[in-house]
Amino acid sequence: MATGRDLGMDISYAQYMTSDHQPYVEIYFAVDGNSLSLDKKANESYYGGVEVVVKIFQDSTFIKGDKFRILSPDFTDTLLFTGIYLHQERYSLAKGNYKVFLEIFDIHKDKKVYNLDLPLEVVLGGNDASISAITLLDHHEVAKENSRFAKSGYDLFPMVNSGSYYFMENMNKISFYTEVYNLDKVLGQDSAYVLKQYIENRANDKVSFKHSSIKKKSAQGVQPILSGFDIKDLPSGNYNLVIEILNKKLQTVVEKKVAFYRSNPSLAILAEDIMIADLAGTFVFDINNFDTLNKYISYLFPISDERAQMFQRNLIKERDVKKMQSYFHAFWRSINPSDPEGQWKKYHENVKIANKLYHTRLYQGYRSQRGRVFLLYGKPSLIERSPFETGAVPWQAWQYYTLSSPYNEVIQTNKIFVFAEFDMSTNDYELIHSDAYGELSNRRWQFDLTQGNYGPGSSLDQNSAPIGDGFGSKLNNNIIMQGRTNR
């Protein structure tokens, strides 16, 4: 998976089989219209797009190739380029190992945006019971004629992820599609079997019975499954969505899982729920000074969600030293149960680094935006600095090849954070754009820097997230499905 430095594009894939049991692969592309370079047509309208070259190899043997363009509609106003242009391609591939090479260009730029080398193992095929990919959906609707998104009578619009699937707090439903194959051969045509669908906690394999379903079915050659769960009450954490097939004896025949992360701060289990009465022998026993605890708990703000921050501020206001000690120990025990003290010491060293590098005239470095990102995600893989660009304020772009954190368990790839120093010579760099989940997103950040469009009322928004919220609900209404344009 990859996201270009300037081009906002996510890519993922899924495996299925045809009705005559021939495997094929679907590759999904989601292009952010805000990130496209634009050109004007003779009729004064604007358009943008990307060109994709596909080359598929098995060992060193070339198997097949393809070239196509994903184009935006024509707009007369450049501010309307805000949609997600969703595209899908299908390739028939026999069971085996492949390498898929993608070359992707912005059609209005000479410079190549990126190359992507995608290892691919096609596992479907044969007569064994099997389950296709579990595709998490942005939404679905009754299939339109000649639609490339059609499957089992529905147009299925996938969530195209870069890294882990991520469901933000306002995404309260999860919908999915999958297919089960060869149950007629394994169990017998029309034989009864049990279809289990459920969500399990990856930390302890505990099944959420509120998010589970059991149905009796009759064995067929191909069994499509389009379903979903309401996850409004699912707390923050790492989960698996599981599809399981059981025979008449309730023995598992085949199962499939897909991982996702749920962010739901309103239901997060705060450390006050796991307070301990006796702190003797713990590393916080000797941290019994209010001023020290005040400082240390304040250090937790960059790695805490809003609800936890609110609780932390209330703790400080209450000035209950014993309660502050208990919370501080419980916080680090929840992050690293085997070594809470070691986790705190490692984090404390990073706070010292942030305070040294990112302090401003008004506050310590851990309270700055660069300090927050550094403490939450660690040192970036690459930093691009532009301190003296003509017509623009100084800015920095931090790139993370892999974005992960013990305080935020979602793994993302190739993400950037852009900071700008609007108040010159203060070292106070404000976050103005990121393509990481849950962060401030503004694909027009370069334009805004030169135009001075920043702060309240600017075009900056908080919409960095996977497309939509699933389960047939189109909260994100700017998804534009694109047909294929060959050259």
Give tens-digit pLDDT for 140-186: 999 998 888 999 999 999 999 766 788 988 899 999 999 999 999 99
What's the pLDDT score for residue 79? 67
Q: In which residue are the tokens 């203060």 written?
A: 426
Give tens-digit pLDDT for 236-249: 888 999 999 999 99
Which CATH number belongs to the domain containing residue 43 in this structure?
Answer: 2.60.40.10
What's the pLDDT score for residue 457? 35
DSSP string, 400-466: EEEEEETTEEEEEEEEEEEEE-SSTTS--PEEEEE-STTS-B-TTHHHHHHHT--STTSS-B---SS
Residues 224 and 361 placed together within one structural domain of the fold: no
Range of the domain at 275: 268-451
What's the pLDDT score for residue 303? 92
CA distances from 456 to 409, 422, 464 (A): 31, 13, 18
Contact call for residues 414 and 162 (beta carbons, < 8 A): yes
Of the given ranges (120-124, 165-169, 374-378), which has the lowest mean pLDDT? 165-169
What's the pLDDT score for residue 484? 44
Does residue 478 sit within a domain? no
Does residue 476 sit within a domain? no
- Dihedral Cα 178, 182, 187, 188, nearest 10 deg: 120
**Spatial CA neighbour of 347 closest among 284, 407, 289, 287:** 407
Domain end call among 57, 91, 126: 126
Residue 222 forms beta bridges with which residues?
A: 181
Contact call for residues 173 and 233 (beta carbons, < 8 A): no
Instruction: Give phi and psi for 331, each to the nearest 5.
Output: -60, -50
Give tens-digit pLDDT for 207-230: 888 899 999 999 999 999 999 999
On the CB side of 468, how many CA atoms lie within 13 Å of its CA?
Answer: 26
Average pLDDT over residues 460-476: 30
Cβ neighbours for 233, distance < 8 A, ≥ 6 positions apart: 210, 267
Which CATH number belongs to the domain containing residue 166 in this structure?
Answer: 2.60.40.2550
Does residue 310 sit within a domain? yes
Residues 292 and 169 placed together within one structural domain of the fold: no
Q: Is 264's pLDDT higher than 50?
A: yes
- For residue 471, name the pLDDT band (cuts at 50, 70, 90): very low
Contact call for residues 206 and 200 (beta carbons, < 8 A): yes
Does residue 463 sit within a domain? no
Q: Is 268's pLDDT higher than 60?
A: no
Give tens-digit pLDDT for 289-319: 999 999 999 999 999 887 788 889 988 999 9
What's the pLDDT score for residue 375? 96
Does residue 38 sit within a domain? yes
Q: Is 486's pLDDT higher than 50?
A: no
Residues 439 and 308 placed together within one structural domain of the fold: yes
Does residue 58 sit within a domain? yes
Contact call for residues 328 and 284 (beta carbons, < 8 A): yes
What's the pLDDT score for residue 29? 93
Residues 164 and 258 placed together within one structural domain of the fold: yes
Token pair belonging to 417:
């954070």
Contact call for residues 396 and 418 (beta carbons, < 8 A): yes
What's the pLDDT score for residue 112? 62
Give tens-digit pLDDT for 39-83: 888 888 888 889 999 999 999 999 999 999 998 888 887 766 667
78 or 486: whose pLDDT is higher?
78
Residues 191 and 67 placed together within one structural domain of the fold: no
Mean pLDDT of the chain: 84
Residues 199 and 133 placed together within one structural domain of the fold: yes
What's the pLDDT score for residue 25? 96
The structure's pTM equals 0.69
Domain end call among 263, 297, 317: 263
Task: Give the H/E segment covering residue 186.
Answer: helix 183-187
Structural domain count, the chain = 3
Beta strand 84-92 with 479-481 is: parallel
